[in-house]
A and B are shown apart, each in its own frame.
Chain A
Amino acid sequence: MNTLLLYFKREWQLLFRNTGALIQPLVFFIIIALLFPFSLPAEITLLQKIGGGIIWVAAVLASLLSLENMFQSDYQDGTLEQAIIHQRSLEMAMLGKVLAHWSATGLFLTVFSPLLCLTFNIPSEQIWVLFFGLLLGTPSLTLIGAVGAAITVTLRRGGVLIAIIILPLYIPVLIFGAGMLSQSAQGLEITSQLYTLAAIFVLAITLAPFAIASALRATIN
Chain B
Amino acid sequence: MNPVSIIWKFLVTVYHRLGSPREFYQIAQYTTPIFGLLSLVLFVCGAYLGLFQAPADYQQGDSFRIIYVHVPAAWLSLFVYMVMATAAAIGIIWRMKMAFVVAICSAPLGAVFTALALITGSIWGKPIWGTWWTWDARLTSELILLFLYFGVMATYHAFEERKTAEKAMAMLAIIGVVIVPIIHYSVEWWSSLHQGATIFAEGGPRMPADMLTPLILMILSFMFFYGYALFLSAQNKVLLNERKSQWVKAAISAAEK
Contacts and interface: CB of A to CB of B under 8 A. Distances in A.
A176 B154 CA distance: 28
A218 B164 CA distance: 7
Name which of A147, A164, A214 has the most chain B CB atoms within 10 A of its CB.
Answer: A164
A116 B150 CA distance: 34
A186 to B, nearest CB: 14
B147 interface: yes
Interface stretch (B27-35, B171-179, B209-217): B171-179
B220 interface: no
Contacts of A172: 179, 182-183, 186
Contacts of B175: 147, 169, 211
B167 interface: yes
A36 B152 CA distance: 32
Interface string B140-179: 0000100110111011001100001001100110011011
A158 B158 contact: yes
B187 interface: yes
A161 B164 contact: no
B189 interface: yes
A165 interface: yes
Contacts of B151: 164-165, 168
Interface in A154-197: 154-155, 158, 161, 164-165, 167-169, 171-172, 175-176, 179, 196
Interface in A98-135: none
B150 A164 contact: yes
Interface residues of B, number: 25
Nearest to B147: A168
Secondary structure at the B interface, as helix, strand, loop or mixed, is helix
Given A151-B172, A175-B186, A200-B182, A161 B167 contact: no
B178 A207 contact: yes
Could you say which interface size class chain A belongs to? 20 to 34
A151 B175 CA distance: 11
Nearest to B174: A211
Contact of B189 (A151, A154, A161, A179): A179
Contact of A214 (B150, B171, B178): B171
A214 B88 CA distance: 14
Contacts of B164: 154, 218-219, 221
Contacts of B182: 172, 200, 203
Contacts of A196: 186
Interface in A206-221: 207, 211, 214-215, 218-219, 221
B179 A164 contact: no
B99 to A, nearest CB: 14
A158 B155 CA distance: 9
A211 B189 CA distance: 28
Given A152-B158, A155-B158, A219-B167, A171 B172 contact: no
Given A167-B147, A171-B144, A215-B171, 5 more contacts: A169-B179, A196-B186, A215-B168, A218-B92, A219-B168
Interface of A: 147, 151-152, 154-155, 158, 161, 164-165, 167-169, 171-172, 175-176, 179, 196, 200, 203, 207, 211, 214-215, 218-219, 221
30 contacts: A151-B168, A151-B172, A152-B155, A152-B158, A155-B158, A161-B154, A164-B147, A164-B150, A164-B151, A165-B151, A165-B152, A165-B154, A165-B155, A167-B147, A168-B147, A168-B183, A169-B175, A169-B183, A172-B179, A172-B182, A200-B182, A207-B178, A211-B175, A214-B92, A218-B92, A218-B167, A219-B164, A219-B167, A219-B168, A221-B164
